[in-house]
């Protein structure tokens, strides 16, 4: 037994050494993986672009009185149809009616007053700014009110301005990222994600709002409606 005991005592240190080597060897890949975790920076940029306005967006109003809801609505619909027909026969675009309102004024006993029903409707349309004189044709159909005149850019122009603003926003975010990473001694490797946070289209100037069309000729707005501004914010996730 003694020779066997001595042999075990000699082999035991070698067994422990082998176990340590095996343990260290299996832990090395995990340590290497931890050190290779990608580093990212999230940063936002802003871009702005302007585009000339080329359309006049106009809102007109017509009203009617009647002794019943049905009668008032019928008269209102007949008048608005006449205005829409005139506008569509000209150069007006996107003609639509909206905000049809009916109210009733009652006597003390709760019954409607004579001609106590009031109806109101808006007619909205777009026309090239140079052809804003189409309002003369609309006025000839006996409209009651010019609600609003606003100059806007076409959808094609707004889309082009949005693309320019987005490119500017991305460049702004990349420039900010470069400044931050240069301070830390790092460089950009790639953009791993891009998110457009928001878009805001600033309304251009508004024309006169009048109680009737009688003062239209004195208050006609300038054809030059200025520019419409598109703002875009973008967020980039950058690996460095």
- The CATH architecture annotation of domain 56-151 reads 2-Layer Sandwich (3.30)
**Residue 114 or 144, more confident:** 144
Mean pLDDT of 109-114: 70
The residues of the chain that CATH labels 3.30.70.2970 are 56-151
Pairing outcome for strands 145-152 and 40-52: unpaired
- Tokens 């309304």 label which residue? 203
Residues 145-184: tens digit of each pLDDT: 899 888 999 889 999 999 999 999 999 999 999 999 999 8
Fold of 36-54+153-240: Translation Initiation Factor IF3 (3.30.110)
What confidence tier does 111 reach under pLDDT thresholds 50, 70, 90?
Answer: confident
Which of 43, 49, 41 has its CA nearest to residue 197? 43
pLDDT greater than 80 at residue 188: yes
Which of 232, 119, 114 has its CA nearest to residue 172? 232
DSSP string covering 132-198, please? Answer: GGGHHHHHHT---EEEEEEEE--HHHHHHHHHHHHHHHHHHHHHHHHHHHHHHT----EEEEEEEEE
Per-residue pLDDT, 31: 44
Mean pLDDT of 190-206: 75
- The whole-angstrom separation of Cα 227 and Cα 50 is 6
Residues 15-25: tens digit of each pLDDT: 444 433 333 34
- The whole-angstrom separation of Cα 136 and Cα 90 is 11
The residues of the chain that CATH labels 3.30.110.170 are 36-54+153-240
Q: How large a percentage of the chain has pLDDT more than 70? A: 73
Per-residue pLDDT, 124: 92
pTM of the model: 0.63
What confidence tier does 204 reach under pLDDT thresholds 50, 70, 90?
Answer: low
**Residue 209 or 117, more confident:** 117
Which of 134, 166, 140, 173 has its CA nearest to residue 55? 134
Structure tokens, 93: 């675009």
Mean pLDDT of 107-134: 82
Mean pLDDT of 66-77: 87
Residues 34-46: tens digit of each pLDDT: 456 789 999 999 9
Beta bridge partners of 145: 61
Per-residue pLDDT, 215: 41
Per-residue pLDDT, 59: 92
Mean residue pLDDT of the chain comes to: 77
């Amino acid at each position: 037994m003694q020779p066997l005991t001595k042999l075990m005592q000699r082999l035991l240190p070698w067994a422990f050494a082998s176990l340590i080597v095996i343990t260290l060897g299996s832990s090395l890949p995990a340590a290497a993986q931890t050190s290779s975790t990608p580093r990212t920076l999230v940063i936002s940029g802003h871009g702005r672009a302007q585009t000339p306005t080329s359309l006049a967006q106009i809102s007109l109003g017509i009203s009617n009185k009647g002794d019943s809801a049905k009668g008032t609505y019928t008269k209102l619909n007949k008048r608005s149809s006449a205005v829409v027909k005139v506008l569509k026969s000209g150069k007006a675009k996107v003609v639509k009616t909206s905000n049809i309102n009916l109210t009733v004024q009652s006597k003390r006993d709760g019954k409607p007053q004579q001609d106590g029903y009031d109806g109101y409707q808006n007619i909205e349309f777009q026309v090239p700014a140079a052809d804003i004189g189409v309002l003369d044709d609309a006025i000839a159909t006996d409209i009651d009110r010019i609600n609003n005149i606003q100059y806007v850019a076409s959808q094609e122009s707004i889309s082009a301005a949005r693309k320019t603003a987005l490119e500017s926003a991305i460049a702004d975010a990349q420039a900010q990222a470069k400044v931050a990473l240069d301070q830390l001694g790092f460089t950009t490797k790639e953009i791993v994600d891009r998110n457009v946070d928001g878009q805001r289209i600033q309304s251009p100037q508004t024309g006169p709002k009048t109680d009737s069309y009688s003062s239209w000729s004195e208050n006609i707005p300038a054809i030059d409606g200025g520019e419409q501004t598109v703002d875009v914010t973008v967020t980039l996730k950058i690996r460095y």
